[in-house]
Amino acid sequence: MRQRAMNAATVPRSRLAQLAEGIPRPFWALLVGTFITKAGSFVMPLLFVYLTQVRGIELPIAGAITSLYGAGSLLGSLAGGIMADRYGRKFTMLVSLLVGAAFLALLGLSRELSAIALSTLLLGATADAYRPASLALSADLIAPEHRLKAFAMQYWAINFGFAVAAVVGGYMAKRNFTLLFIGDALTTLVLSIIVWRLIPESRPKPSTDAPKPGSLLTPFVDRRFAPFLFFNFLIALVFFQHLSSMPDDMKAKGLSTEDFGWAVASNGLLIVLLQPIVTRLAAGLRQSSVLAAAALLTGLGFGLYVFAHSLPAFVGCVAVWTLGELLFAPVNSTIVAQLSPLHLRGRYQGAFVLTWSTAAMAAPLLGASLIPKIGHELIWVGCFGVGVLVTIGHLVISARSLPRHATSE
């Protein structure tokens, strides 16, 4: 009897040891800080709702302002990548977090349309300056054979936090939207303290025989990396419709802001539950095949919104594209680390973030401008079509250009 109990206790311990293998303490600190700040990320998921329903801004203008966040991200991702390579990962992260918290507070206090637009632009720039530095630091800290697991854990923490933020933010928004900005700024400051006290600088020290630094265009003319970036841009255009076209479609079908909060929360909860399982299943598969399956599931999930008219139906659609997200998120981060030269890791991560930032800017603008002309249904049909095109691209092109497995260098 005692032996059985010992064996049962050994199983979870061995799994925990397996999970912790190859993961240094600074990465665990970053993981905890990431969860805290994402659990307080109330503003961006509800920014479109805030602009249209609280500030009374018309749909096309609200879409344009939301797109300014993406425009700021374009600048921030490029600047963050260069700063991470030149001045260090930790320095870049601290500057981004501290300045970002200030702009969150400024956006919450802004009442004039011009001030709201400017604050959104600057917030996007500071927020996405953090990401290339954080991703480069993670790649520096983790050995190649443990990166897929580490990036999956990071994405798990992000989405667990987002799930909490979506539910809490939905309830807070019904009472006072100002609380969203305060909470978001405070949790951002908490992460800055963790980075300051617990995260070391990981940037490789320059040597006399180091390769010449690349230009801003280096990642975009890399024959292996450029198609990967392009396919990510297309699928990101689809993915970011959940922040603009999706809430507008739900409102048109008689659903509330709280319903939207629950639908978005289901995405995070599914990632929390399924990420470890999906990561283990995908670990031994060819990376191009995983990305192809991810693109197809993402397009299908958004395409099914055509038939969704209730909260359970929307949650079901979210579940489908969440499976795609579960596949592409950790694999994408692993591929960027694999393909980026050590001395250009920040720039390559910046180019990857830039791709998603460009889509974050274009997606709400595209959706808001097309919905009055063609309606929600054709938006969702188009999303499915893009998913199919990206699937074919990964099967035909990525199969030849990307590393086969996550442990390849």
pLDDT range class, residue 6, cuts 50, 70, 90: very low
In a domain, 24, yes or no: no
Higher pLDDT among residues 17 and 108, named by residue:
108
In a domain, 245, yes or no: yes
Q: How far is CA 270 from CA 120, 281, 307, 315, 316, in A?
A: 29, 16, 21, 10, 11
User: How far is it, in rounded angstroms, from Cα 238 to Cα 185?
Assistant: 28
Structure tokens at 343: 């001395």
pLDDT range class, residue 320, cuts 50, 70, 90: very high
pLDDT of 10 higher than 70:
no
pLDDT of 210 higher than 60:
no
pLDDT of 214 higher than 80:
no
Higher pLDDT among residues 400 and 119, named by residue:
119
| pLDDT of amino acid 103 | 92
| pLDDT of amino acid 367 | 85
pLDDT of 325 higher than 70:
yes
Query: What is the separation of C-alpha 303 from the centre of its chain, rounded to a whole number of angstroms?
Result: 21
pLDDT range class, residue 317, cuts 50, 70, 90: very high
pLDDT digits (tens, 9 = 90+) for 350-391: 888 888 878 877 888 888 888 888 888 899 999 999 999 999
In a domain, 149, yes or no: yes
Q: How far is CA 297 from CA 82, 169, 213, 250, 391, in A?
A: 34, 28, 38, 21, 9
User: How far is it, in rounded angstroms, from Cα 366 to Cα 13?
Assistant: 49
Is the Cβ–Cβ distance between 199 and 90 less than 8 Å? yes
How many other C-beta atoms are found inside a 10 Å radius of the C-beta of residue 167?
Answer: 18
Higher pLDDT among residues 151 and 34, named by residue:
34
User: How far is it, in rounded angstroms, from Cα 357 to Cα 350?
Assistant: 10
User: How far is it, in rounded angstroms, from Cα 324 to Cα 72?
Assistant: 27
Q: What angle do CA 350, 356, 362 make, to 5 degrees?
A: 130
| pLDDT of amino acid 32 | 94
pLDDT of 56 higher than 90:
no
| pLDDT of amino acid 16 | 62
| pLDDT of amino acid 357 | 78
Is the Cβ–Cβ distance between 339 and 225 less than 8 Å? yes
In a domain, 210, yes or no: no
Domain range for 64: 31-201+216-401
pLDDT of 213 higher than 70:
no
Query: How high does pLDDT run on average in the chain?
Result: 84
The arithmetic mean of pLDDT across residues 155-177, rounded, is: 82
Structure tokens at 255: 């659903």
In a domain, 85, yes or no: yes
In a domain, 209, yes or no: no
Report the percent of the chain where pLDDT is more than 90: 28
User: How far is it, in rounded angstroms, from Cα 366 to Cα 247?
Assistant: 15
User: How far is it, in rounded angstroms, from Cα 163 to Cα 145?
Assistant: 29
pLDDT digits (tens, 9 = 90+) for 104-151: 999 988 888 889 999 999 998 888 788 888 888 888 888 877 888 888
Q: What angle do CA 222, 228, 232 make, to 5 degrees?
A: 135
| pLDDT of amino acid 209 | 52
The arithmetic mean of pLDDT across residues 66-76, rounded, is: 82
Phi-psi region of 206 (alpha: psi -120 to 50; beta: other; left: phi over 0): beta
In a domain, 250, yes or no: yes
Query: Which is nearest to 201 in space by CA: 133, 260, 142?
Result: 133
Structure tokens at 42: 């109330």
pLDDT of 167 higher than 50:
yes
User: How far is it, in rounded angstroms, from Cα 236 to Cα 359?
Assistant: 6
Higher pLDDT among residues 383 and 285, named by residue:
383
Least confident of 162-176, 311-325, 386-400: 162-176
The arithmetic mean of pLDDT across residues 156-177, rounded, is: 82
CATH number at residue 279: 1.20.1250.20
In a domain, 171, yes or no: yes
Q: Which residue has the tokens 């990166």?
A: 147
Q: Specify the number of domains making up the chain.
A: 1
Highest mean pLDDT among 8-12, 239-243, 354-358: 239-243
Structure tokens at 235: 């699928």
pLDDT range class, residue 226, cuts 50, 70, 90: confident
| pLDDT of amino acid 330 | 82
pLDDT range class, residue 268, cuts 50, 70, 90: confident
> What's the whole-model pTM score?
0.76
In one letter, which amino acid is 1?
A: M
